[in-house]
Amino acid sequence: MLFDKFKSMADFQAELAERQVKPFGAVTEKILSATEGVVEGRQVILAGTNNYLGLSYDARCIKAAKDAAQQWGTGTTGSRLANGSFAGHQALEDEIAGFYGVDHAIVFSTGYAATMGMCATLAGPGDVILMDADSHASIYSGVKLSGAEVIRFKHSDPDDLAKRMRRLGDRASETLIIAEGIYSMLGDVAPLQEIAAVKREYGGYLLVDEAHSMGALGDSGRGAAQAAGVEADVDFTVGTFSKSLGSIGGFCVSQHADLEAIRFCISAYIFTASSSPSIIASTREALRIIGEEPQRRTQLWDNANRLYQGLKSLGLAVGPTASPVVAVEMEDRSQTISCWEALLDAGVYVNLVIPPASPSTNFLLRNSVSAAHSSEQIDTIIAAYAGLRDAGMLPSTKDN
């Protein structure tokens, strides 16, 4: 039957319903601040929102959104190529290009559309794409649509990338290489210095997805490539507005003038209604704030290091390095669900991640840190995990 392939997910949903727990699609009934809300009837610290700089609830961004809706209405009702290009869209493209120090930018309606659209369009039949094996689902969707030959290299392994580039011979010089800045599940940072060195040796074009690193890394918040000092080696930077910028949408920026022609070949751009004026306005204000308030990044990393070291000191299986994403890995699905529910009861909302969204067969309790979190809130999150460990619900690597 057509629906047989969904049986395992239906069984999983039935298990969750029987346990009366809702880790996926948990409803937030009220937002109290950038870091607090009411989720499934419980007042909680929001530690699963990707609101890295706390700008989703910034009064200046909210005012910009209100003013834009009053002036321009609630939506564009059309694609950018039809009737959906407003002055704000063009202004945001100019401003984000300026933020990255390049001349060309495209704004998309979602981050998924930006990444998928670029990956689906840049390479085509007869071309080769070399992508990190742990790439985001939007990248996988895009390269599948491209029709190009797709080769995966081992996660964050420049030597494996170089080996595969050597095997391509003359084709290497036209290959599209895809990596991310910060990987969204475990929070590890890509070795972009080494990846860029491979590109310089063998040629090709480098696309970096800075979705989780834009605003968080780099002297001015441009992301992992800026932090690694390799921006000149990056041909295309894609990202999203739904993390550090606190809204929704996506972008691609490039030093290549060809981006202006590519724009009219991207189905995810051509056939999608453009972002509402209020979203564009709040994003523009958030981008301005990122440029003018670098102290937000400092606070973000203070909080990230505090949470990472706190969970690591409990003996929990956290990722390889501190970052705004701090995940605790577990092997048992039922146990992970119980821990997620217990954290919610303790006043802490985190993300529960299951395969294939997680980069292995393990399950994750995924925490995302915000510059808006107070030190006391970070300590409360750590204490909640300590309570689970002490109750025997959460395994500790110190016990092994």
CATH code for the domain of 186:
3.40.640.10
Mean pLDDT computed over 237-252: 98
Tell me, yes or no, whether 288 lies in a domain: no
pLDDT tens digits, 160-215: 999 999 999 999 999 999 999 999 988 999 999 999 999 999 999 999 999 999 99
Quote the mean pLDDT of the chain: 95
Tell me, yes or no, whether 106 lies in a domain: yes
Q: Does one domain contain both 148 and 180?
A: yes
CATH code for the domain of 8:
3.90.1150.10
Q: Does one domain contain both 28 and 85?
A: no
Dihedral in degrees, nearest 10, Cα atoms 387, 393, 396, 400: 150
Domain span including residue 85:
76-275
Q: Does one domain contain both 110 and 223?
A: yes
Is the pLDDT score of 398 beyond 60? no
Is the pLDDT score of 397 beyond 90? no
Is the pLDDT score of 400 beyond 60? no
Query: Whose CA is closest to 141, among 104, 163, 115?
Result: 115
- Confidence label for 12 from pLDDT (cuts 50, 70 and 90): confident
Helix axes 277-292, 59-72, angle to 10 degrees: 150
Comparison of pLDDT for 4 and 117, the residue scoring more: 117
Q: Does one domain contain both 328 and 184?
A: no
Tell me, yes or no, whether 67 lies in a domain: no
Burial string for 270-288 (b: 16+ CB within 10 Å, else e) reads eebebbbbbbbbbbbbbbe
Query: Whose CA is closest to 131, among 153, 163, 107, 101?
Result: 153
Q: Does one domain contain both 216 and 179?
A: yes
pLDDT tens digits, 325-354: 999 999 998 899 999 999 999 999 999 998
Residues whose CB is less than 8 angstroms from the CB of residue 132 and which lie 6 or more positions away in sequence, other chains included: 152, 153, 155, 156, 178, 179, 180, 190
Task: Give me the number of domains the chain comprises.
Answer: 2
Comparison of pLDDT for 302 and 395, the residue scoring more: 302
Domain boundary among 275, 308, 342: 275
Q: What sign has the CA pseudo-torsion 47, 220, 291, 293?
A: positive
Distances (CA, A) of 51 to 36, 77, 212, 213: 12, 28, 10, 12
Tell me, yes or no, whether 373 lies in a domain: yes
Q: Does one domain contain both 95 and 133?
A: yes
Q: Does one domain contain both 148 and 231?
A: yes
Mean pLDDT computed over 273-297: 98
- Confidence label for 362 from pLDDT (cuts 50, 70 and 90): confident
Q: Does one domain contain both 53 and 80?
A: no
Q: Does one domain contain both 89 and 145?
A: yes
pLDDT at 152: 98
pLDDT tens digits, 17-75: 888 877 787 899 999 999 999 999 999 999 999 999 999 999 999 999 999 999 999 99
Helices (H), 222-363: 224-228, 259-262, 267-270, 277-292, 295-313, 333-345
Mean pLDDT computed over 277-302: 98
Tell me, yes or no, whether 160 lies in a domain: yes
Tell me, yes or no, whether 313 lies in a domain: yes
- Confidence label for 369 from pLDDT (cuts 50, 70 and 90): very high
Is the pLDDT score of 255 beyond 70? yes
Q: Does one domain contain both 314 and 188?
A: no
Comparison of pLDDT for 385 and 356, the residue scoring more: 385
What is the distance between the alpha carbons of residues 59 and 307, in angstroms, rounded to a whole number? 27
Tell me, yes or no, whether 228 lies in a domain: yes
pLDDT tens digits, 118-129: 999 999 999 999
Comparison of pLDDT for 382 and 1, the residue scoring more: 382
Q: Does one domain contain both 86 and 36?
A: no
Tell me, yes or no, whether 103 lies in a domain: yes
Comparison of pLDDT for 188 and 11, the residue scoring more: 188
Q: Does one domain contain both 212 and 309?
A: no
